[in-house]
Amino acid sequence: MADARHSGPPVSKREAGKAERRGRIIHAARDLIRETGNAGLSMRALAARAGVSLATPYNLFGSKRAIVLAVRDDVREFQGRFTSLRSTDPLERLFAALDMAVAFYVDDPQFYKTLWAAVFDASDDVRSEIYNRKRNDFWRDLIHQVAEAGVIRGGVNEELLFHALDRSFGAAMLEWVVGELQPELLAPTIRYGYALILRGAASPGWEGPLDGRLQESQSRIEAAVATAPAAGV
């Protein structure tokens, strides 16, 4: 029998009720984003879907932006998966992170296409909650580790390299959001862009490994295009 002295403090009925309402609101918000294609959310519609008063979402979260952040529980799950990676090779970890991120998007396309559409809308304040400093610092650090491992030749500006890679990522995401890039092509297209840019910045001795990643991505793209159904005339 467990020793009660070592268990956590009991949760009051009030706190349990708040947690339950928070969960309902997050679930309702995710469903509404999928159904409406709008990451801005109507607080009135959200409250109605969650079965709470109009004031409750504000009382529990404070703002619509906070709700969008809470809905994005993928951030915590992504960090958990990434932390569990066994590989210590910085280049492998960078490409693994790309694959993990894309997996979230294609597994729930209605939700993530809506969020990324908001990213591409400069007037939408959801953009700043997704493209934030913490997100950018994560990818900058991965690129820095790649540079520290000697993959990048001296004289290449890491900050400019980060932006070049991120623009390549964003371009692929935009094509996916508007339906010009099929889901099965998203990951290899992003990997191809990264490999191509990194190949151009590679130090002697690293061209070969990057050529291998470039060829692997190219082969996946070509295979997917070859098996795709022909477009209607």
What is the reported pLDDT for 1?
A: 40
Claim: this prediction has a pTM higher than 0.85:
no
Nearest residue to 152 (alpha-carbon basis) of 195, 191, 199: 199
Q: What are the start and end residues of each CATH 1.10.357 domain in the chain?
A: 74-227
Q: Which CATH number fits domain 74-227: 1.10.357, 1.10.287, 1.10.3470, 3.90.660?
A: 1.10.357
- CATH code for residues 10-71: 1.10.10.60
For residue 2, pLDDT over 70 is answered with no
What is the reported pLDDT for 175?
A: 96
Q: How many angstroms separate the CA atoms of 197 and 154, rounded?
A: 15
Q: What are the start and end residues of each CATH 1.10.10.60 domain in the chain?
A: 10-71
How many other C-beta atoms lie within 10 A of the C-beta of residue 121? 13
Q: How many residues does the chain have?
A: 233
When the pLDDT of each residue in the chain is averaged and rounded to a whole number, the result is 87
For residue 9, pLDDT over 90 is answered with no
